[in-house]
Amino acid sequence: MTLSRRNLFQDKTRLALSVGGVALAVMLILVLNGFLDGMNRQITLYLDRSPGSIVIAQKGVNNLLGATSLLPSGIEYKVASIRGVEEVVPILSQFVILDLHDKKQPAYLVGYEPAEGGGPWEISSGLQPKRDREVVFDRVLAVRHGLRIGDTFELMGKDYTIVGLSNGTTSWMTSFFFVRKKAAEDLFSAPQATSFLLVTLSKDVEPREVLNRLNDLPGVNALTKKEMAINDLKLFAKVFSAPLKLMVAIAFLVGTMIVGMVIYTATVERQREYGVLKAIGAANRVLYQVVAVQALLAALTGALIGVLMAYGVSQGIMVARPQFLIVFDPSDVGRALLAGIGMALVAALFPARVVAGLAPAEVFRR
């Protein structure tokens, strides 16, 4: 242990670079995972905060964000008459592209009836829309584009006035904004149209039974909010998981290479000393331990610093770009530390080979 520590601490700059390299790699892994976790939370924002426990979509549609849904006309009344249904909230929603200051900003428009619900769950300032050309805008998106209450912006050829700003409706990919349902119907040239029904069940009913009854209605797909949230997550995971995994793999490889190189150079430079140790009877196992402990010390210190850096960097990113949510789960931190140990073990392989191949007699011939 003392030998490992001495070998490692002898050259402070090299140690700092190796620890820094692992820290960067671990930070990258953590930030990427945190970004994915944050994105997952943002994806299910609306489903998490809107009323009801069941969502009714058009037949064949099982996502909120992935697909456009248009329910058969008059379905709202049929659903309301089903035994076990307490409340039905209709919304008309659709992705739209906003042109804000020459930047294209995808946003999810929700048309709702303020009296019935389904709109913003927390208004930080202003009011709910009372007229068709009024809108509650996401606060973070508004700040990013310098928009305030009373400002107008153009959407699909029509001008809308911001009358309220909402909290907790931000997402990296798409923020939510809210208009009256009638306004959405006009905008999409779809009078009386409804995309989804948010259904609240009466107490003391068996949700599965009501769900089955709802699914007997023609042209609809009824599912729990939890199921729909999982479907949305699956859809986005499909899109983002491949590039993200590629980047995490690169970060792991780079970290391993850095620790490997540092321990390798430290071992090669101390080759003579290792030879002497072998010559005086030290078993290969002892020397492997020396190498492995060095790798572990460097990697674990790097991993711990990486965790702290990831926290600092993610805070910085979220302040500079509030649309990003980076979430650290304790399990992510555990995984990052495990990645550090993994890097150390893989990295110790090369130097261990050097030590194993060392002939003690060589030392005395030099």
Partner 1 sequence: MMRLAFRNLFQNKIRLAISVGGVALALLLILSLDAIFSGVEQRLTVYINQSGADVFVSQSGVRNMHMASSSMPASVEKKVKAVPGVESVTPILYLSNMVVVGDERNLAYIIGLPEKAVMGKPWKVSVGRDQPEEGEAIIDRNIADKSGVALGDEVEILGQDFEVVGLSEEMTSLVNSVAFISLNDFEALRGSPQVISFLLVKVSAGESPNTVAMRIEARVRDVTAQTRESFAGQERQVIKDMSTDVITIMNLIGFLIGLAVMALTVYTATLSRRAEYGVLKALGAHNGHLYRAVLAQALLSVAIGYALGLAFTMLLSDLIPRMGLSLILKVSGASMLKVSGVSLIIAAVSAVLPIKQISGLDPAMVFRGK
In the chain, what is the straight-line distance between the N-terminal and C-terminal CA atoms, in Å? 27
- Per-residue tokens: 40: 């997952």
Work out whether 288 is an interface residue with partner 1 (CB under 8 A): no
Q: Which stretch binds partner 1 (CB under 8 A): 79-87, 276-284, 317-325, 329-337?
A: 317-325
Q: Give the whole-angstrom CA distance, residue 219 versus residue 79.
A: 12
Q: Across the strands, what pairs with 176?
A: 108
Indicate left, alpha or beta for 194 from its phi (over 0: left) and psi (-120 to 50: alpha).
Answer: beta
Q: Which stretch binds partner 1 (CB under 8 A): 44-52, 65-73, 79-87, 327-335?
A: 65-73
Of 83, 103, 130, 203, the one binding partner 1 (CB under 8 A) is 103
Of 3, 7, 8, 24, the one binding partner 1 (CB under 8 A) is 24
Work out whether 97 is an interface residue with partner 1 (CB under 8 A): yes
Indicate left, alpha or beta for 74 from its phi (over 0: left) and psi (-120 to 50: alpha).
Answer: left
Q: Whose Cβ is closer to partner 1: residue 71's or residue 201's?
A: 71
Of 91, 147, 155, 346, the one binding partner 1 (CB under 8 A) is 155
Work out whether 158 is an interface residue with partner 1 (CB under 8 A): yes
Q: Please, what is the minimum distance in Å from the beta carbon of residue 264 to partner 1?
A: 6
Q: Which stretch binds partner 1 (CB under 8 A): 77-85, 133-141, 261-269, 328-336?
A: 261-269
Q: Which residues contact 149 (CB under 8 A, 6 or more apart)?
A: 125, 126, 162, 163, 164, 165
Q: Give the whole-angstrom CA distance, residue 287 versus residue 296.
A: 14
Q: Whose Cβ is closer to partner 1: residue 57's or residue 201's?
A: 57
Site track 165-184 with partner 1 (rule: CB under 8 A), x = hit = -------xxx----------
Work out whether 356 is an interface residue with partner 1 (CB under 8 A): no
Work out whether 280 is an interface residue with partner 1 (CB under 8 A): no
Q: Give the whole-angstrom CA distance, residue 110 versus residue 180.
A: 8
Q: Cβ(341)–Cβ(304) under 8 Å?
A: no
Q: Interface residues for partner 1 in 177-216 (CB under 8 A)? A: 188-190, 193
Site track 216-255 with partner 1 (rule: CB under 8 A), x = hit = ---x-x---------x---x---x--xx--xx--xx-xx-
Instruction: Kindly state the helix (H) or strand (E) to which residue 305 belongs, with its residue range.
Output: helix 284-320
DSSP state of 64: S
